[in-house]
Amino acid sequence: MTQLQFGDVTVSLDEYIAIVEIHRPPHNYFDADLIQNIADGFDAMDREHECRAIVLASEGKSFCAGANFHSRSTEGEQVAGTTSRLYQNAIRLFACSKPIVAAIQGAAIGGGFGLSLVADFRVVSPDARFGANFVKLGIHPGFGLTYTLPRIIGIQKASLMFYTGRRITGEQAIEWGLADLLASPETLREEALQLANEIAECAPLAVQSTRATMRRGLVEAVKAQTDHEHAEQSRLFLTEDHKEGVKAVSERRAGNFKGR
């Protein structure tokens, strides 16, 4: 077994399956460093001939509950610069050539939701929660979600999630086609590994070739979309509504927005 460490991310390769696991429990809040760590892990497995599939997982209660706005400055220029580096590394995730299965428990919110859509398939537990809560924070969606989410569930359902910031459950994710398999919390990792193994049993060159065809143009499209998302986020980071949104979310109340 091969084991590698990239910051708060471990990579374990056993035969043909790699587990890339986030270790920031309980909620695995992300930042630019974490996304870079995951991208470094993906790159390492891209170069590993024996790796045929990747399982993306996390330790703790949540898969990834988004960015931790409570612990960082929200000064516009500082946050915009950090977001730019984060999205540069997010593009590296989409550029990975190996099939990815995400095992998702608990919250996959905001950028954590975007991270879950890097994967080809999502195995979820009933307690999974998906949400694009950007409008509740007074900002534009990011992490390529405005491209990836409509591609998976259609523009109508994606718009519903974007405009309201509502969350959907693991069961709803299955119904909407956002997730592929439903598993109990106890068997979640096992089910994800079984799916990855089913992929790995097939001819690897054929799988990667077919995947490249199915995802043709994806990296370029996500890059163009994140460029636009970043520009809009940079503008909205400077608004009073964003400051109020962060405060409202931290206080678990509806925002008192003024449109300025």
Q: The CATH number of the domain where 155 resides is what?
A: 3.90.226.10
Residue 147 inside a domain? The answer is yes
DSSP string, 79-97: HHHHHHHHHHHHHHHHT--
Residue 7 inside a domain? The answer is yes
- According to DSSP, residue 149 is labeled H
Residue 227 inside a domain? The answer is no
Which residue range forms the structural domain that includes residue 64? 2-188+199-205
Give the Cα separation of 56 and 101 in Å (integer).
Answer: 6
Q: Structure tokens of 223?
A: 């890059």
Hey, which bits of 115-182 come out as E strands? 121-124, 129-131, 167-169, 181-182
Q: What is the pLDDT of residue 57?
A: 98
Q: What is the pLDDT of residue 1?
A: 81
Residue 145 inside a domain? The answer is yes
Q: What is the pLDDT of residue 81?
A: 64
Q: What is the pLDDT along the chain (260 residues), one digit of tens a residue?
A: 889 999 999 999 999 999 999 999 999 999 999 999 999 999 999 999 999 999 999 999 999 999 876 554 444 444 566 788 999 999 999 999 999 999 999 999 999 999 999 999 999 999 999 999 999 999 999 999 999 999 999 999 999 999 999 999 999 999 999 999 999 999 999 999 999 999 999 999 999 999 999 999 999 999 999 999 999 999 999 999 999 999 999 899 999 999 99
Residue 243 inside a domain? The answer is no
Residue 123 phi/psi, 5-degree rounding, is: -105, 125
The reported pTM is 0.94
pLDDT digits (tens, 9 = 90+) for 174-191: 999 999 999 999 999 999
Of 189, 169, 187, which is closest to residue 58 (Cα–Cα)?
189
Q: What is the pLDDT of residue 74?
A: 46
Residue 230 inside a domain? The answer is no
Helices 145-153 and 218-236: crossing angle in degrees, nearest 10, is 120
User: Which H helix or E strand runs over 19?
Assistant: strand 17-22
Look at the chain and report how many structural domains it folds into: 1
pLDDT digits (tens, 9 = 90+) for 38-70: 999 999 999 999 999 999 999 999 999 998 765
Residue 15 inside a domain? The answer is yes
Give the Cα separation of 10 and 6 in Å (integer).
Answer: 6
DSSP string, 200-214: HTS-HHHHHHHHHHH
Q: What is the pLDDT of residue 247?
A: 94
